[in-house]
Amino acid sequence: MQMTGAKILMECLLEQGVDTVFGYPGGTILNVYDELYNYEGKIRHILTAHEQGASHAADGYARSTGKVGVCFATSGPGCTNLVTGIATAYMDSSPVVFVTCNVTENLIGKDSFQEVDITGITMPITKCNYIVRDVNQLADIVREAFAIARGGRPGPVLIDIVKNVTAETAEYTPLSREEHASQGRLGALVKRASHDLKMPEPDLGDVEILADMIRKSSKPLLICGGGVVRGRADQEFNVFAERIDSPVAITVMGAGGFRGRNPLTTGMIGMHGSQASNMAVDACDLLIAVGCRFSDRVALDPKTFASQAKVVQIDIDRSEINKNVETDHHIIGDAKRVLQLLLERLDQQHHEEWKQYVFSFKTETEYDEAGNTLTPKQISDVIARLCPQDTMVATDVGQHQMWVAQHFHYDYPGQLLTSGGFGTMGFGLGAAIGAQVGNPDKTVIHITGDGSFRMNCNELATESYYNLPIITFIYNNQVLGMVRQWQHLIYHEHYSQTTLDRAPDFVKLAEAYGLGGKRVCTVPELEEAVREALACGHGYVIDCAIDMDEMVRPMVPGGGRITNFLVD
């Protein structure tokens, strides 16, 4: 059937099972939005306040649902506003397809109004990107883009369509998703990499070697990384950890990959890792990292990291092997499948003595009795007590992010939505919107700091318009807390440009957007506000006063030995 490029795009989205798109219209993408108008009821469009918000929302949607997120934006500033969101998705391997439109073919390269080389700009932060200049290739490219975004190690893909292509017509033949891999460009790609039409298998020899290493180990340690979450391998990982009776340290990205309440968990690992996790890294004889790339926030000093252990990496991306930490063995494959193969080969192991040693250290930070203001731990406790256990938590970046990662116990992949790799302040509200849209029956909360919230609080408009009952908790210390913490510990208390004693009044701001809001300074006030927020059925902002000198503890300085705690 002959169709315009814009209509082909819509049909291709439907082929992929897309029913939700986040975005913001503009001049060059007008044809696409005109067609979207005809697809009302099939494709729901969430209009955000800013393209960055849309990019984070599509990312949050993808992380929380496991589906591919989709985001539209126009040319020029529309698509450059996506850049932070694309990089955020890239660093955390989140599958999002970004569709942008560029100026008409004959205006390209002439510095036309709102023209920018977005494929050039996003080359280092996308798995791949395309510029579509021929309407006959559009369907093929969209199909390939989705397959690439969700396949292998997931990640963002950008499709830039020149405006005339969205108006021109071509023959469109519907193709079910199962057939995509045998046709067109995608077919050629699959054939080139000599895959059959099924997931490739991990190397069984490599699996045997690891099984043998596990049998010989008396002091094993597992790291649950983001790959377990992305690969939704949580069930297998839980069984595996119990089978080999190994303590499990969890990275920020790995939260939810291993049940936070399981007695085998040692808590978070790395710069703000628990004593138990970090001491275990130092003393273990076998370290198995699943879907973890040993970032500098986890491994700190690659030379002294796990220096007594044989290090084994299980990862889907071969280029992560030996990138940051030298390993002794690796298995390439999907976490779920590799763990299944290992489970088939391993009997129950027992490591009582080793566990006794590891769990003689603290798995959680102990806090002093509270003073006059709220403490971060008190806020976290109230949230954990009053919100449903399966509440989804989106965060921004800074001290609150670390507290949220440390204090809560996560039960399933996608429960914690946080920018771990890129560290994007302003990620949280957009991500919470995406998560709430994708999971309408779940309670979604957004935990932020006053610095982060000020960055993208414009998305309260989106939250309000679509009546999304997200509760925002601001851990408000009137300072840029994490940077201040470094200034306090390392920069001789030179608090350079980290004091944020300024407008707005967040309660009035929430009210201005038509949401509820309350400022709280004590636990009873907080409890009352949370109850009210949960009951009210619309968005709510709770501004929690905390002390500016609160620190994230423990802390190991960057590049140091993992047991070299600067603060306990």
Partner 1 sequence: MDQVERRSLSVLVDNEAGVLSQVSRMFSRKGYNIESLAVGTTDDPKVSRITIEVLADEKHTNLLCNQLRKLLPVHSVKLLNPNNSIRRELILVKVNADSSEACNRVIQIANIFRASVIDVSTTTLTLAMIGEESKAEAIVNLVKEFGILELVRTGMVALERGTDTIYEATKEKGEFDYGKNVL
Catalytic residue among 67, 105, 114, 478: 114
Assess whether 442 carries a catalytic annotation: no
> Please, which of residues 22-41 interact with partner 1 by CB under 8 A?
none
> Please, which of residues 308-337 interact with partner 1 by CB under 8 A?
316-319, 321-323, 332-333
What is the residue-wise DSSP string for 388-408? Answer: -TT-EEEE-SSHHHHHHHHHS
Using the structure block, give the residue that is written with the tokens 């001049």: 27
Q: How far is the CB of 181 from partner 1 (least distance, A)?
A: 6
Of the candidate spans 21-29, 190-198, 397-405, 452-460, the one that interacts with partner 1 by CB under 8 A turns out to be 190-198
Binding mask 62-101 for partner 1 (x = CB under 8 A): ----------------------------------------
CB atoms within 10 A of CB 563: 17
Q: How far is the CB of 361 from partner 1 (least distance, A)?
A: 34
Beta bridge partners of 118: none
Catalytic residue among 11, 15, 35, 51: 51
DSSP class of 551: -
Q: 236 or 450, CB closer to partner 1?
A: 236
189 binds partner 1 (CB under 8 A): yes
Q: 155 or 426, CB closer to partner 1?
A: 155
Q: 319 or 348, CB closer to partner 1?
A: 319
Instruction: Tell me if 410 sits within 8 A of 255, measured CB to CB.
Output: yes
Using the structure block, give the residue that is written with the tokens 């030298």: 326
Helix (H, G, I), strand (E, B) or coil at 116: coil
Contacts of 345 (CB under 8 A, 6+ apart): 207, 208, 211
Residue 163 vs residues 88, 114, 191: alpha-carbon distances, Å: 27, 12, 32
Of the candidate spans 40-48, 191-199, 227-235, 278-286, the one that interacts with partner 1 by CB under 8 A turns out to be 191-199
Maximum Cα–Cα distance for the chain, whole Å? Answer: 72
193 binds partner 1 (CB under 8 A): yes
230 binds partner 1 (CB under 8 A): no
152 binds partner 1 (CB under 8 A): yes
Instruction: Round to whole Å and give the CA distance between 561 and 552.
Output: 18
176 binds partner 1 (CB under 8 A): no
Instruction: Round to whole Å and give the CA distance between 355 and 347.
Output: 18
Q: How far is the CB of 542 from partner 1 (least distance, A)?
A: 42
402 binds partner 1 (CB under 8 A): no
Q: Check whether the bond before 554 is cis (ω within 30° of 0).
A: yes
Q: 13 or 148, CB closer to partner 1?
A: 148
Q: In this structure, what are the phi and psi dihedrals at residue 84, rounded to the nearest 5 degrees?
A: -60, -40
199 binds partner 1 (CB under 8 A): yes
Catalytic residue among 91, 455, 482, 551: 482
Contacts of 85 (CB under 8 A, 6+ apart): 51, 52, 54, 55, 56, 58, 59, 71, 424, 430
Assess whether 137 carries a catalytic annotation: no
Applying CB under 8 A, the site for partner 1 has a residue count of: 35
181 binds partner 1 (CB under 8 A): yes
119 binds partner 1 (CB under 8 A): yes
Q: How far is the CB of 528 from partner 1 (least distance, A)?
A: 50
Instruction: Round to whole Å and give the CA distance between 461 and 498.
Output: 27
Binding partner 1 by CB under 8 A: which of 17, 77, 109, 120?
Answer: 120
Q: Which two tokens stand for residue 549?
A: 């000198």
Q: In this structure, what are the phi and psi dihedrals at residue 287, rounded to the nearest 5 degrees?
A: -115, 120
Assess whether 163 carries a catalytic annotation: yes
483 binds partner 1 (CB under 8 A): no
Helices (H) and strands (E) in the chain, counts: 24, 20
Q: Check whether the bond before 156 is cis (ω within 30° of 0).
A: no
Annotated active-site positions, please?
51, 113-114, 163, 482
Residues that bind partner 1 (CB under 8 A): 119-120, 123-124, 127-128, 144, 147-148, 151-153, 181, 186, 189-190, 192-195, 197-200, 202-203, 316-319, 321-323, 332-333
